[in-house]
């Protein structure tokens, strides 16, 4: 039954988003609306000094290993430096992947799906999950350790699965944006068929020139 409710309400939510666009910025995510889609993505992060330091360390260790071999040092010692150089190069590659980490989500009302683009936290591998609206179980706001809020989505990875996964949609939401975050949560909650469409989003769109209040005035 939830699938039918979701299909029936999708065009209404798409129209609501078109008439009352989301704020351009919420927490660490830039939001934009395109035909039948709501897109949120984090900024491209600045490159830090850590990958460069790891590359330099690896190069220095490799040069030291070559020098030890040329000087006739013990093979075990040279092999140790080679292993350390390889570890430094692998670490530099991993740190670069982490520095490039960028989250993105796409709420697609045309395909009734939520696409999540992210990197795995340990290996730094790019991952994409396409979640049907019917597989979404909840959208919640939680307080982070620093007192700011984050907006998360809970979903099952495959039909019939008892496993429940959670991914972050928006993080580092300051207290000043708490109401906007709550409104976005309620909108997504209804779009995924998790509850009734809230009264303020269900109201007809205002006439030309009138202030919109779906997200912010």
Q: Where are the domains of the chain?
A: 2-45+101-202, 49-99
Q: What is the model's pLDDT at position 210? A: 35
Average pLDDT, the chain: 75
Q: What is the model's pLDDT at position 26? A: 87
CA 202, chain centre distance (Å)? 28
Q: What is the model's pLDDT at position 23? A: 72
pLDDT digits (tens, 9 = 90+) for 29-85: 888 887 788 888 887 655 566 777 888 888 888 888 888 878 877 778 878 888 888
CA 121, chain centre distance (Å)? 12
d(CA 31, CA 40): 4
Q: What is the model's pLDDT at position 187? A: 82
Matching residue, tokens 């809970």: 154
Whole-model pTM: value is: 0.58
Q: Does domain 2-45+101-202 have CATH number 2.60.120?
A: no
Please check whether residue 102 is in contact with residue 30, taking contact to mean a CB–CB distance below 8 angstroms: no
Low-confidence ranges of the chain (pLDDT < 50): 1, 3-9, 197-217
HEC profile of 57-92 = HHHHHHHHHHHHHHCCCCHHHHHHHHHHHHHHHHHH
Partners of 149 in the β-ladder:
143, 173
What is the phi/psi pair of residue 158, to 5°? -155, 155
Q: What is the model's pLDDT at position 211? A: 33
């Amino acid at each position: 039954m939830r699938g039918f409710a979701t299909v029936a309400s999708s065009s209404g939510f798409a129209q609501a988003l078109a008439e009352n666009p989301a704020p351009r910025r919420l927490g660490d995510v830039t939001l934009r609306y395109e035909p039948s889609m709501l897109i949120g993505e984090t900024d491209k992060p600045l490159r830090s000094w850590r990958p460069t330091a790891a590359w330099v360390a690896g190069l220095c260790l490799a040069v030291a290993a070559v020098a030890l071999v040329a000087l006739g040092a013990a093979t075990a010692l040279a092999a140790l430096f080679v292993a350390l150089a390889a570890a430094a190069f692998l670490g530099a590659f991993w740190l670069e992947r982490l520095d490039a980490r960028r989250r993105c989500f796409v709420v697609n009302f045309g395909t009734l799906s939520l696409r999540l683009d992210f990197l795995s936290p340990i290996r730094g591998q790019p991952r994409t999950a396409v979640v049907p609206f019917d597989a979404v179980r909840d959208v919640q706001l939680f307080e982070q350790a620093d007192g700011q809020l984050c907006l998360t989505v809970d979903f099952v990875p495959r039909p019939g699965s008892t496993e429940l996964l959670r991914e972050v949609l928006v993080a580092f939401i300051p207290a000043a944006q708490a109401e906007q975050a709550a409104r976005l949560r309620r909108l997504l909650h209804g779009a995924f068929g998790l509850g009734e469409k809230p009264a303020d989003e269900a109201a007809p769109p205002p006439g030309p020139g009138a202030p919109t209040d779906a997200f912010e005035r």
